């Protein structure tokens, strides 16, 4: 292939571009009507069962969720070891500590069997990550959480659209779910996120904290004659609102959530079929008619030595194919290793798997030719 195939490319069409131009011409660039429309579209997608709060990133949304649930100094939160640092860092913002837990070898989702032994009197919440777009074992996790009186927060940065036992992620019985619209996620606003909760008072608190702790209801309640300049700060909030420029992109990306997923599903099925004879581990499919978002397609080579995987990625690059690794486990990062004195015997699954994983290109704009070329290149390199 003459042209380089990037690991990811967002699909941005005329509609997104025209909406952004319309916003730029409107004179209103920050959070306003377009963001409200985006939130409404998102809520429609979730069958109008939720409160949807647009934020500047999923990281901001995750932080709003833990703060608004009252998590802070002296508390502990359970987080999977095999994730992006964002899932865990937001716990540290509050002063609370992170308890990392190993994942299942089959799908890299948090291992429910390891959660219970990580719970102590300080534990307040479990953050789960629907890794790569395949839902975690939520019945088991919710049961453990209920029994131990813990909050459950879903990091759904990979999970749009994903279902668990036919329920769309965002509508499960948990405290908050957070989606990401970062540039390489399943839909994008460049940077952005959405916090979703069924709990009205939690939603209210997150809305206030999203914008400097300014409470517009206090304004409505106490001021009958409403001067436009008046507002009240009721908390030390954050600057986590999403601009109407970003929301303009989101409004049109939302319409394509399922179209994008269908294409990724097609590509995933092609890879699964074409690579099935190789000496590799292929990713798990969703069972029982559920939707896997296929945000990531992770191939596992059968090596024990990391150098083999690294060379594979270099060889793919030489063939003009961009690959990636999701993720370097948290216990292998200096900050987390030093903070909690972690060693590589504590997370046998993520440490073993880290040496073998390669993420392949999987996105709407990949052509059939490119997908075939990628799969043929892998066959050539591995046989």
Ligand X SMILES: *Cc1c(COP(=O)(O)O)cnc(C)c1O
Segment contacting ligand X by CB under 6 A, of 46-54, 152-160, 201-209, 256-264: 152-160
Position of tokens 């209103």?
A: 28
157 touching ligand X, by CB under 6 A: yes
The least CB distance from residue 109 to ligand X, in Å, is 11
Taking the least distance from each CB to ligand X, the nearer of 180 and 243 is 180
Q: Which positions from 281 through 310 interact with ligand X, judged by CB under 6 A? A: none
Applying CB under 6 A, which of residues 23, 31, 50, 87 lies at the interface with ligand X? 87
Any idea which residue has 């599903």 for tokens? 265
* Closer of 193 and 361 to ligand X (Cβ): 193
Shortest spacing between CB 160 and ligand X, in angstroms: 11
86 binds ligand X (CB under 6 A): yes
| CA–CA distance, 315 with 224 (Å, rounded to integer) | 69
Select from 35, 68, 81, 83 the one that contacts ligand X (CB under 6 A): 83
Q: Considering only the stretches 133-141, 151-159, 224-232, 270-278, report the one whose residues sit in contact with ligand X under the rule CB under 6 A.
A: 151-159
Catalytic-labelled residue, pool 34, 99, 185, 207:
185
Residue with tokens 């030719």: 369
Identity of the residue, 185 or 375, whose beta carbon is nearer to ligand X in the bound complex: 185
By CB under 6 A, name the one of 31, 35, 50, 59 that touches ligand X. 59
CB of 56 to ligand X, least distance (A): 8
222 half-sphere exposure, CB direction, 13 A CA radius: 8
Compute the residue count for the chain. Answer: 383
Residue 84 binds to ligand X (criterion: CB under 6 A): yes
Q: Is 243 in the site for ligand X (CB under 6 A)?
A: no
CB of 81 to ligand X, least distance (A): 12
User: What are the CB-based long-range contacts (under 8 Å, 24+) for 283-290?
Assistant: 283/107, 283/132, 283/134, 284/106, 284/107, 284/134, 286/134, 286/135, 286/162, 286/163, 288/165, 288/166, 289/166, 290/135, 290/162, 290/163, 290/164, 290/165, 290/166
Q: Identify the DSSP state of 131.
A: G
**Measured from the CB atom, is 158 or 263 closer to ligand X?**
158
- Characterize the bridge pairing of strands 297-301 and 357-360: antiparallel
Q: How far is the CB of 76 from ligand X (least distance, A)?
A: 19
Strands 76-80 and 297-301: unpaired
Does residue 81 touch ligand X according to CB under 6 A? no
Q: Which of 263, 264, 206, 271 is nearest to 240 (CA)?
A: 206
80, 128 contact by CB (below 8 A): yes
Across the chain, the runs of DSSP E, i.e. the strands, are 51-55, 76-80, 97-101, 123-129, 151-155, 163-164, 167-168, 176-180, 193-197, 280-281, 297-301, 357-360
By the rule CB under 6 A, 132 interacts with ligand X: no
Window 177-216: residues binding ligand X (CB under 6 A): 180, 182, 193
Residue among 35, 57, 186, 356 that touches ligand X (CB under 6 A): 57
For ligand X, the binding residues in 362-381 under the rule CB under 6 A are: none
185 catalytic? Reply is: yes
The tokens for 160 are 């749009």
The percent helix, strand, coil of the chain (3-state, each to 5) is: 40, 15, 45
> With CB under 6 A, what is the number of residues at the site for ligand X?
14
CB 60 to ligand X: min, Å: 7
The answer to whether 58 contacts ligand X (rule: CB under 6 A) is yes
> What is the per-residue DSSP string for 193-256?
EEEEES-HHHHHHHHHHHBTTB-HHHHHHH-SS--TT---B-S---B-BPPHHHHHHHHHHHTT
Q: Which is nearer to ligand X, 157 or 196 (CB)?
A: 157
* Site residues for ligand X per CB under 6 A: 57-59, 83-84, 86-87, 129, 155, 157-158, 180, 182, 193
Provide the annotated active-site residues: 185
């Amino acid at each position: 292939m003459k042209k380089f195939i990037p690991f990811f490319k967002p699909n941005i069409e005329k509609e997104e571009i025209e909406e952004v131009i319309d916003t730029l011409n409107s004179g209103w660039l920050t959070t306003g009507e377009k963001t409200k429309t985006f939130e409404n579209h998102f809520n429609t997608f979730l069958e109008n069962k939720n409160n949807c709060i647009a934020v500047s990133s999923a990281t901001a949304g995750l932080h709003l969720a833990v703060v608004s649930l009252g998590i802070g100094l002296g508390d502990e939160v359970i987080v999977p070891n095999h994730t992006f640092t964002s899932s865990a860092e937001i716990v540290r913002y509050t002063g609370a500590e992170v308890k990392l837990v190993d994942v299942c070898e089959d799908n890299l989702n948090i291992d429910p069997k390891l959660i219970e032994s990580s719970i102590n009197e300080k534990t307040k919440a479990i953050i789960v990550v629907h890794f790569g777009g395949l839902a975690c074992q939520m019945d088991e996790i919710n049961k453990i959480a209920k029994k131990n009186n813990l909050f459950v927060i879903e990091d759904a940065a990979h999970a749009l659209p994903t279902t668990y036992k036919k329920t769309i992620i965002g509508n499960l019985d948990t405290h908050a779910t957070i989606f990401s619209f970062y540039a390489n996620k399943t839909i994008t606003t460049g940077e952005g996120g959405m916090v979703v909760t069924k709990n009205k008072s939690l939603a209210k608190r997150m809305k206030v904290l999203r914008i400097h702790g300014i409470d517009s209801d206090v304004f409505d309640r106490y001021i009958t004659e409403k001067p436009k300049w008046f507002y009240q700060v009721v908390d030390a909030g954050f600057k986590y609102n999403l601009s109407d420029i970003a929301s303009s992109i989101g409004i049109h990306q939302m319409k394509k959530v399922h179209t994008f997923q269908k294409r990724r599903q097609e590509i995933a099925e092609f890879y699964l079929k074409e690579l099935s004879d190789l000496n590799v581990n292929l990713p798990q499919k969703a069972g029982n008619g559920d939707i896997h978002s296929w945000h990531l397609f992770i191939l596992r080579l059968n090596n024990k030595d990391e150098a083999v995987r690294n060379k594979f990625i270099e060889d793919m690059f030489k063939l003009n194919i961009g690959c990636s690794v999701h993720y370097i486990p948290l216990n292998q990062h200096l900050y987390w290793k030093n903070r909690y004195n972690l060693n590589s015997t504590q997370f046998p699954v993520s440490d073993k798997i880290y040496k073998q994983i390669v993420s392949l290109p999987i996105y709407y704009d990949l052509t059939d030719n490119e997908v075939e070329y990628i799969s043929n290149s892998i066959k050539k390199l591995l046989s």
